[in-house]
Amino acid sequence: MYTVIKRMEVSASHCLHLSYRSKCENLHGHNWIITVYCRSAELNENGMVVDFSQIKELVKEKLDHHNLNEILSFNPTAENIARWICEQIPTCFKVSVQESEANIAVYEKD
């Protein structure tokens, strides 16, 4: 089994829609650290699981320097963002989204 890991930093803003009062309901930003894990038993015709630049294009170029509420169709929590990223890349099985030093959400396919 081959595994590739792509780590990138994305600067983006969001506000959360919550069932309780929170300062996170106000527009604010993070320098998100996103780590994408991809794996495959077979390499593609180029000898790769997936090209690192393809991951960057599918994730960073879509999210970086944007208001996530304007480009995503769901409540942009770290957990939802992790799941969405995982769904964008066919060989992806796990994504971690770190919005601050102490707050990290991980989504992993079953």
Predicted confidence (pLDDT) per residue in 87-100, tens digit: 999 999 999 999 99
Give the pLDDT band (50/70/90) at residue 84. Answer: very high
Instruction: Look at the block and give the residue holding tokens 């993070």.
Output: 30
CA distance 21 to 35: 30
User: Domain locations in the chain?
Assistant: 2-108
Beta pairing partners, 57: none
Architecture of domain 2-108: 2-Layer Sandwich (3.30)
- CB of 94 closer than 8 Å to CB of 81: no
Predicted confidence (pLDDT) per residue in 25-53, tens digit: 999 999 999 999 999 999 999 999 999 99
Vertex 21 angle, CA 75 and 81, to 5°: 20
- pTM (2 decimals)? 0.94
| β pairing state of 28-40 and 2-14 | antiparallel
Asked whether the predicted pLDDT for residue 110 surpasses 90, the reply is no
